[in-house]
Structure 1
Amino acid sequence: MRIGIVNDMRAACEALRRVVNSLPDHVIAWTAVDGVEAIAMAKRDRPDLILMDLIMPHVDGVQATRQIMTASPCAILVVTATVSGNISLVYEAMGFGALDAVDTPMLGPAGEVSGAGSLVDKIGIIAKLVGSTGEPRKKSGTTTAATPPRLLVVGASTGGPKAVSDLLLPLPQDWNTAVIIVQHVDVAFSQGLAKWLGDRTHRAVRVAEHGQQPVAGDVLLAGTNDHLVMSKSRALEYTEEPKEIFFRPSVDVFFESVADHWPQTGIALLLTGMGKDGAKGLLKLRTRGWHTIAQNEASSIVWSMPKAAIEAGAACEVLAIDQMPRVISARLTG
């Protein structure tokens, strides 16, 4: 991949240079010292991936991400001095299309780089993603409920956090529906993302627990680096299988398990995201009688996942994110 580096700190920029140069099949496309320069560079020479700092003069990493994903979209990985210390900004950037976040490696006095393992791993995952597309709570028991709730299942990736928050905010608070969300996000951010979504939507958004059965009113988020699945007993479980699917958690794996094991039909949404994850699962749900909706291009940060579903004939409807709550409410509260 061709990788752009955006960082105003000389030592951090050099550490990132050394990491990228150490990786086979990856080269540095350009470097920028702030968001203004990054926006201009991305427009002039769009790379496969941008390593984006958050705290910079003039235009910060959040606004740079927003403008780049609007004008010249590409994969963006937030690389900042402390992810935990900037968690609110991290989720804002992810809402505008950043894929993930990681702490910046450190450059030692002798020129050695430390703490680069997570960065290298995430670059590898994004390389597979880019290569595969060619483009950019209430705690319930473990016994089976007599009357399971209706389900609204949601799959999302790039730009998903903001899309999901915009979707949830207008939906009814008190209804016989459980919402389960599979968002491509590292386990390190799942609890924070649940809190961020809860704060923005005024709901109790929680990370799904292994063995938990969805009940009406739940808003549950897949929360580990394993796949989330629906079991035969209608309980949510985490599993490593299938190991060959590197999107974790996988929307396809979850949707297909719901199609196999949930006793009622419901509504399934495939939102903004890079890649094709979710298209097969959405099609399976449609063939089982579910009402399936793909996000339209105009309201998507990256339109790869919904587009793949539409091309596969998996979507009953194609809607903008602000059109979905009305359709969902009419179908699930009627």
Structure 2
Amino acid sequence: MPIRVLVVEDSPIALAILKKILSSSPDIEIVGTARSGMEGLELIPEACPDVICTDFFMPHMNGLEFTSQVMLRYPRPILVVSASVQEEEDTHRIFQLLEAGAVDILPKPKAGLDSDNIRLKQALINKIKVLSGVKVFKKKHGKSQPHSAFNRHNRIASSIKLSSRPKILAVGSSTGGPLALQKVLASLPPDFPLPVVCVQHISLGFLQGLIDWLSESCHLPIQIAPAGERPKPGNIYFPPERQHLEIDRQGRFVHSKLPPVDGHRPSVTTSFKSIAGFYGRRTIGVLLTGMGRDGADGMKTITDVGGLTIAQDEATSIVFGMPKEAIALGAAQHVLPIQAIGPTVLNVVQQFVLGPQ
């Protein structure tokens, strides 16, 4: 059966472009269109979409309120398709939609045949196919984590021991990654003693918005890794857009435009392998939710050199592809719920604050 898609978009031109792109795939059926979030909300019970595409700026009910209402009343995978990601002052608003429950984001395609636009059109179809198979988590406003779960996560964290003092934390993620990253990074205190290198698959134009949004909840400074500099403790680094991020033999950041690995540039595996090559067993590698297999081979390299590896579990992953591939390779030493990953990393690092060097 084709994937049923509801498109919520107030611009007639943008709506026509989206309908043309989605209709070009025999695997997708547009079951409804709406000009506002309010209209879209009314259509959901009748249209029964598998996936919803929504813009951010719309009359009567914007994308943020619409997403919040959908997740409360009719939980569905939501893809944000918006031109506002290209306006710097609006990028943080797009990531608020992810906080509200949207699964992924994509720039709005334009009419034309340039290579970037053709790539964007194919990305839209691919994302719809991916999202049709993901689970969503109904939002429960005002409810905190049960005390029993908190204690269980603490027990998990305190049970993992290391023989060597860690020197770097490397994190990889893809679909569903921004929220997972937020949970992990926000749990690190201002005096966290390791550099953190993150590789998140994200569409062109979204990276600075992601950094700005994460900065609101994180205690550590976040930046694009400067080429030629060494990673500094207590700093979080991301690769530049469309470039791999590696560590050279002198321990300095290197940007690379070598071909994509596992379909991605930047690639999690590329960064993981490079980091493991320099830091060896003093590497902590974390692989979070995401589609595909990028990161699995890189995590195996970290395991093989004696580092610590943690994969997000299936129950808390939006898409279990990347962690699943790492587990299948025997690359993940520990498989943990997202709530336990930050405390576990912190506990492992704190073992060495007054311990062996």
Q: Answer whether TM exceeds 0.5 for this pair.
A: yes
* TM-aligned CA distance change 1:294 to 1:41, over 3 Å: farther
Gap runs ≥5 in structure 2: 135-164, 352-357
Other structure's SS at 2:16 match: helix
Amino acid at match of 1:151: I
CA shift, 1:328, in A, is 0.8
The aligned counterpart of 2:119 is: 121
- Native 8 Å contact 2:19 2:30 kept in 1: no
Paired with 1:124 and 1:237, the residues of 2 have a C-alpha distance of 30
Paired residues of 2:230 and 2:253 also in contact (CA < 8 A): yes
The SS at the match of 2:30 is strand
Q: How many residues align?
A: 312
- Shift, 1:174, TM fit: 1.4
The corresponding residue for 2:287 is 270
Conserved? CA contact 1:6–1:53, under 8 Å:
yes
Retained in 2: the 8 A contact 1:102–1:119? no
**Equivalence for 1:141:** none
Distance 1:40 1:202, change over 3 A: same
Cα distance between partner residues in 1 of 2:347 and 2:126: 39
AA of the residue aligned to 1:92: Q
**Aligned with residue 278 of structure 2, among 261, 266, 273:** 261
Which residue of structure 2 aligns with residue 29 of structure 1?
A: 30
8 Å CA contact 1:32–1:41 kept in 2: the answer is no
Give the corresponding residue for 1:279: 296
Q: 5 Å matches for 1:198-213?
A: 198-213=215-230
Contact 1:129 1:275 in 2 (8 A): no
Cα-to-partner distance string for 1:145-175 (whole Å, 9 max, x where unaligned): xxx9710110011121222122122222213
Whole-Å Cα distance in 2 between the matches of residues 302 and 43 of structure 1?
Answer: 25
Q: Secondary structure, in 3 states, of the residue corresponding to 1:237?
A: strand
The residue aligned with 1:242 is 259
Is the alpha carbon distance of 1:154 and 1:177 closer, same or farther for their aligned partners in structure 2, counting shifts above 3 Å?
same
Q: Does structure 2 retain, via aligned residues, the 8 Å contact 1:43–1:72?
A: no
More divergent stretch after superposition (186-195 vs 55-64): 55-64
How far 1:100 sits from its partner (Å)? 3.3
Contact 1:43 1:71 in 2 (8 A): no
Alignment partner, residue 18 of structure 1: 20
Match of residue 107 from structure 2: 102
CA distance in 1, matches of 2:47, 2:6: 12
Matches within 5 A, 1:283-298: 283-298=300-315
Q: Alignment partner for residue 269 of structure 2, among 244, 252, 265?
A: 252
1:197-220, Cα deviation, whole Å (9 max, x unpaired): 112213211111222210211111
- In the TM superposition, what is the alpha-carbon distance from 1:8 to its structure 2 partner? 3.2
For residue 326 of structure 2, what is the aligned residue in structure 1?
309
Q: How does 1:1-334 map to 2 (within 5 A)?
A: 4-21=6-23, 27-33=28-34, 34-35=36-37, 37=40, 40=44, 44-46=48-50, 51-56=53-58, 60-62=62-64, 67=70, 71-73=75-77, 76-80=79-83, 83-84=86-87, 86-95=90-99, 96-103=101-108, 105=110, 113=111, 118-125=116-123, 127=125, 135-136=133-134, 150-243=167-260, 245-334=262-351
What is the CA–CA distance in structure 2 between the aligned matches of 1:332 and 1:285, rounded to whole Å? 17
CA RMSD, Structure 1 to Structure 2 (Å): 3.4
Is the CA contact 2:31–2:47 (under 8 Å) kept in the aligned structure 1?
Answer: no
Once residues 103 and 119 of structure 2 are traced to their aligned partners in structure 1, the CA distance between those partners, rounded to angstroms, is 16
CA contact (8 A) 2:268 2:295 kept: yes
- Match of 1:110? none
Higher deviation after alignment, 117-126 or 274-283? 117-126
Secondary structure of the equivalent of 1:280?
helix
Which secondary structure state, in structure 2, belongs to the residue aligned with residue 29 of structure 1? strand
Deviation at 1:244, TM superposition (A): 5.8
Is the partner of 1:318 in helix, strand or coil? strand
- Equivalents in 1 of 2:86, 2:94: separation in Å? 7
* Identity across matched positions, percent: 27
**Partner SS state of residue 197, structure 2:** strand
Counterpart amino acid of 1:255? F
Aligned-pair CA distance for 1:268: 0.9
Unaligned 5+ runs, structure 1:
106-112, 137-147
- Alignment check: 8 A CA contact 1:190 1:222 kept: no
> Which amino acid is the alignment partner of residue 240 of structure 1?
K
Q: Secondary structure at the match of 2:220?
A: coil
